[in-house]
Amino acid sequence: MRIPKGKLSFSDVSVVMGSRNEEKAIRKVITDIRQATKGQAEIVVVDGSSDRTPEIAEKLGAKVIRQKPQGYGVAVKAAVLAASKDIIITVDCDDTYPAERIPEFVELIRKGYDVVSGSRLGGKTRNMTALNNFGNTLFALIGSLLYGISVSDVTTGMRAYRRNVIQSIEWTENVGLSAELILRPARHGYKITEIPIAYRPRLGDTKLNPLSGGLGIFKSIIKCRFF
């Protein structure tokens, strides 16, 4: 039975993210998540900032875990593992991902999918540099071929996971964690679907280097398939 949108509850949802010096974005990101989930979702922020990001997040009701900055994947792995609810949603702490779409991700997990992936490359708004656009398209092609799936974005940061997917797999990657988080579940035979999402311009400065990051992601895609 389809639950009417107004009746949708989010008390079984955790929304998680890594944050490093995201003072310009944190307030809007958390406010948008709270609005989309009627203030019911648990929000977990794994923070490696030297600015006021963690204090702001705490004031807005998020559970904040502080760690020294060790890269995207170290933070996001800690965040998904710290989530206490049955449906776990990842986003970035930079306002690029559309929090207002969270209810659709939740509904698809409730319908039986194990992973729901938000494709930035299938959406209309694609605020990405030409280099990132090229790299992400290539990674999706290689990932789809090597793992026998058909997806248009393996490096997106916005997905929903059923809790047992997160708990049943050993996560090993850092810069390549976003790819690992869809490719390993594919190898395990979990039911995956993709929905197009808009990718908005970032608030604040990027924390990742596209060239070294791209090489790291490529290595992760090969390693998780063959080693």
Ligand X SMILES: Nc1nc2c(ncn2[C@@H]2O[C@H](COP(=O)(O)OP(=O)(O)OP(=O)(O)O)[C@@H](O)[C@H]2O)c(=O)[nH]1
For 115, the enclosing helix (H) or strand (E) is: strand 115-119
153 binds ligand X per the rule CB under 6 A: no
Supply the minimum distance, in Å, between the C-beta of residue 172 and ligand X.
17
Q: Is 95 in the site for Mg ion (CB under 5 A)?
A: no
Phi, psi of 63 (to 5 degrees): -85, 120
Q: How far is the CB of 17 from ligand X (least distance, A)?
A: 6
Q: Given the rule CB under 5 A, which of 6-14, 43-51, 68-76, 91-99 is the region that contacts Mg ion?
A: 91-99
Q: Is 77 in the site for ligand X (CB under 6 A)?
A: no
d(CA 104, CA 92): 18
Smallest separation (angstroms) from ligand X to the CB of 62: 13
> Segment contacting Mg ion (CB under 5 A): 61-69, 90-98, 147-155, 184-192?
90-98
Q: Which of 37, 20, 160, 198 is nearest to 94 (CA)?
A: 20
- Given Mg ion, ligand X, none, residue 195, with its beta carbon under 5 to 8 Å by kind, binds none
Terminal-residue alpha carbon distance, the chain = 42
Sign of the torsion angle spanned by Cα atoms 219, 222, 223, 227? negative
Part in contact with ligand X (CB under 6 A); list of ranges 70-78, 108-116, 133-141, 214-222: 70-78
Q: Which of 22, 94, 114, 153 binds Mg ion (CB under 5 A)?
A: 94
Q: Measure the CA–CA gap between 87 and 160, rounded to whole angstroms.
A: 7
Quick check: 126 binds ligand X (CB under 6 A)? Answer: no
In three state form, how does the secondary structure of 2-37 look? CCCHHHCCCCCEEEEEEECCCCCCHHHHHHHHHHHC
Residues engaged in binding ligand X (CB under 6 A): 17-20, 22, 46-48, 69-72, 75, 92-94, 96, 157, 202, 206-208
Residues engaged in binding Mg ion (CB under 5 A): 92, 94, 96
